[in-house]
Amino acid sequence: MSVRVRIAPSPTGNLHIGTARTAVFNWLYAHHHQGTFVLRIEDTDAARSRLEYTENIKSGLKWLGLTWDEGPFFQTQRLDKYQQAVQTLLDQGFAYPCYCTPEELDEMRETQKAQGKAPGYDNRHRHLTPEEKQAFEAQGRKPVIRFKIDSDRQIIWQDAIRDSVSWQGSDLGGDMVIARAAENYEHYGQALYNLAVVVDDIDMQITHVIRGEDHIANTAKQILLYEALDAEIPIFAHSPLILNQEGRKLSKRDGVTSIDDFRKMGFLPQALVNYMTLLGWTFPDSTKEIFTLEEAAAEFDLDRVNKAGAKFDWDKLDWINSQYLHTMPVDQLTDLLIPYWQEAGYKIDQDRSWLENLTALTAPTLNRLTDVIKETSIFFADKVEYSDEAMNLLQQAGVAEVISEIVAGVNSTEALTEEDAQALIKQVTKSQKVKKGLVMRSLRASLTGELHGPDLTQTWLLLNQLGADKTRLQETLTKISG
The residue type at 176 = M
Burial of 32 per CB tally in 10 Å (0-12, 13-18, 19+): middle
Interface segment toward ligand GLU; rule CB under 6 A; list 6-14, 52-60, 426-434, 449-457: 6-14
3-state secondary structure of 184: coil
Quick one: 204 or 278, whose CB is closer to ligand GLU?
204
| φ and ψ at residue 387, rounded to 5 degrees | -70, 165
Tell whether residue 403 is a contact of ligand GLU (CB under 6 A): no
Decide if 252 is catalytic: yes
Contact assessment for residue 265 and residue 321, using Cβ atoms and an 8 Å cutoff: no
Minimum distance from residue 204 beta carbon to ligand GLU (Å): 12
Tell whether residue 4 is a contact of ligand GLU (CB under 6 A): no
Tell whether residue 238 is a contact of ligand GLU (CB under 6 A): no
Quick one: 42 or 420, whose CB is closer to ligand GLU?
42
Binding map of ligand GLU across residues 284-303, x = CB under 6 A, - = no contact: --------------------
Bridging pattern class, strands 4-7 and 36-41: parallel
Interface segment toward ligand GLU; rule CB under 6 A; list 4-12, 162-170, 313-321, 453-461: 4-12
d(C-alpha 352, C-alpha 370), whole Å = 20
| φ and ψ at residue 266, rounded to 5 degrees | 95, 20
Tell whether residue 421 is a contact of ligand GLU (CB under 6 A): no
d(C-alpha 83, C-alpha 79), whole Å = 6
Which residues lie closer than 8 Å to 236 by C-beta, 6 or more apart? 157, 159, 160, 165, 208, 209, 219
Angle at 305 between CA 299 and CA 308, to 5 degrees: 160
Minimum distance from residue 23 beta carbon to ligand GLU (Å): 10
d(C-alpha 40, C-alpha 37), whole Å = 10
| φ and ψ at residue 42, rounded to 5 degrees | -95, 85
Catalytic-labelled residue, pool 62, 113, 117, 252: 252
**Given candidates 3, 4, 5, 9, which one binds ligand GLU under the rule CB under 6 A?**
9
Minimum distance from residue 45 beta carbon to ligand GLU (Å): 9
145 pairs with which residues across the strands? 97, 179
Contact assessment for residue 154 and residue 102, using Cβ atoms and an 8 Å cutoff: no
Binding map of ligand GLU across residues 160-199, x = CB under 6 A, - = no contact: -------------------------------------x--
Minimum distance from residue 375 beta carbon to ligand GLU (Å): 39
Quick one: 109 or 249, whose CB is closer to ligand GLU?
249
Tell whether residue 206 is a contact of ligand GLU (CB under 6 A): no
Quick one: 237 or 434, whose CB is closer to ligand GLU?
237
DSSP 219: H
d(C-alpha 302, C-alpha 46), whole Å = 34
Interface segment toward ligand GLU; rule CB under 6 A; list 7-15, 143-151, 272-280, 295-303: 7-15
Minimum distance from residue 320 beta carbon to ligand GLU (Å): 26
243 pairs with which residues across the strands? 249, 311
Half-sphere exposure of 125 (CA within 13 A, CB side): 26
Tell whether residue 42 is a contact of ligand GLU (CB under 6 A): yes
What Rg do the C-alpha atoms of the chain give, in angstroms?
Answer: 32
Quick one: 8 or 100, whose CB is closer to ligand GLU?
8
Tell whether residue 8 is a contact of ligand GLU (CB under 6 A): yes
Tell whether residue 211 is a contact of ligand GLU (CB under 6 A): yes
Tell whether residue 10 is a contact of ligand GLU (CB under 6 A): yes
Interface segment toward ligand GLU; rule CB under 6 A; list 5-13, 169-177, 179-187, 457-465: 5-13
Which residues lie closer than 8 Å to 387 by C-beta, 6 or more apart? 449, 450, 451
Active site residues: 252
Q: Which residues bind ligand GLU (CB under 6 A)?
A: 8-10, 42, 197, 211, 215
